Amino acid sequence: MSVLTEKTEWLWKKNQELWLKEIVEYIEANDLVDYNFQDNNEWTARDYEQSPLCQIIWGEIVSSYLSKKFGEEYTYLINRYHLTVQSDTKSFRFLFDVMNNGKAAYNPSYRTKDNSDIIYKYHYIGNFTPIPGNVPLKPSLQFSHKVFQEDWNKMIEHIRDRWNEFKFDLTFDEYIEMTFQTDYYSNKKFNKISGKEDIKNMIISRGKLIEGRLKELI
């Protein structure tokens, strides 16, 4: 059963406040870290990482981070295509991506006993992340991620290498801090995470950080 109700493709702006209340009620009684978006049919117009639930979680976290950094109030607005976080003077647009793909096609070293297409479940908040969306890029970041065979180790380096193209009024290090990606990059160094168990552990540990921050805010 999904967290959010009143799901309609065209009323995201209208339902944002209602959905936030439902999220608050859910996390008061449940853990968010092990909530599987796919298993619970967390409705979305596009992909699970673009869902209203994911966007609101990150909208709360990102708007708080930017408000503190710039010393002015930031609010956020979700829609079917991107998250907008803005103040009276600045605006940031975010897209979303799944960091690691648990399908067998992206994990050729592993096989399940029943030859399932899924090596590990991966539709968790700890595996979803905002990516810069201020400037439409060709190819898109999501396309580049597919070219990298859904390898986030390569993707995060790609984001760093192209950082100046995004026209974000943040440093790459601040983006990493804001989105809880220090397992992949810290102290100016990249840290490779590979192997399904390490990836699953990262998803859980990062998910706990995201959940903890969200509970502090709401």
Residue 47 confidence (pLDDT): 86
Q: Identify the helix (H) or strand (E) that includes residue 76.
A: strand 75-78
The token duo for 74 is 């930031």
Q: What average pLDDT does the segment 115-134 reach?
A: 94
The total of other beta-carbon atoms located within 10 Å of residue 71's CB is 8
Is the pLDDT at 189 greater than 70? The verdict is: yes
Confidence band of 45 (pLDDT split at 50, 70, 90): low
Q: What average pLDDT does the segment 117-121 reach?
A: 93
More reliable by pLDDT, 69 or 142: 69
The Cα 136–Cα 81 span in angstroms is 12
Residue 112 confidence (pLDDT): 73
Is the pLDDT at 207 greater than 70? The verdict is: yes
Mean pLDDT (the chain) is 94
Structural domain boundaries in the chain: 12-217
Write the single-letter amino acid at 159. Answer: I
pLDDT digits (tens, 9 = 90+) for 190-200: 999 999 999 99
Global pTM? Answer: 0.95
Residue 37 confidence (pLDDT): 96
pLDDT digits (tens, 9 = 90+) for 4-30: 988 776 788 889 999 999 999 999 999
Crossing angle for the helix pair 12-29 and 196-217, to the nearest 10 degrees: 100
The total of other beta-carbon atoms located within 10 Å of residue 133's CB is 20
